[in-house]
Structure 1
């Protein structure tokens, strides 16, 4: 069964406290060379049957209406995995 993966990230202008916490932890662990971390969300939707243009259109609609808070987040990718 194919899977559709939707990735959502905070908008660039929105503060990402989780990302800042991870960046701070990297520094405390002695890991250098990183100037930023942003944390997003990944959704995997398993499709019963074939992924058609209609199914992808529905997933795009779901991503904008339900999976992402479009005030503070962007849907950055929607891809089909076999």
Structure 2
């Protein structure tokens, strides 16, 4: 067996597992010291990103609530 064959077989196995089986497999991987680091999911892999306007409330500006639409458009790089 080649590594590519093992990799493909493992993908097919995971695809066939019921949701509970996938959760159990994840627990097994996370409990293995050598494999646990591969189970960690980064923000870039999940598609999450930090929103640049989160700290806006502490900006010292007093007109935030009055200009919120404009400020959000600026933060999202959208035209008026």
**TM-score strictly above 0.5:** no
When normalised by structure 1's length, the TM-score is 0.26
When normalised by structure 2's length, the TM-score is 0.26
Going by fraction, where is strand more abundant, 1 or 2? 1
The structure, 1 or 2, with the larger RCO (C-alpha pairs under 8 Å, 6+ apart) is: 1
Going by fraction, where is helix more abundant, 1 or 2? 2
Larger Rg: 2
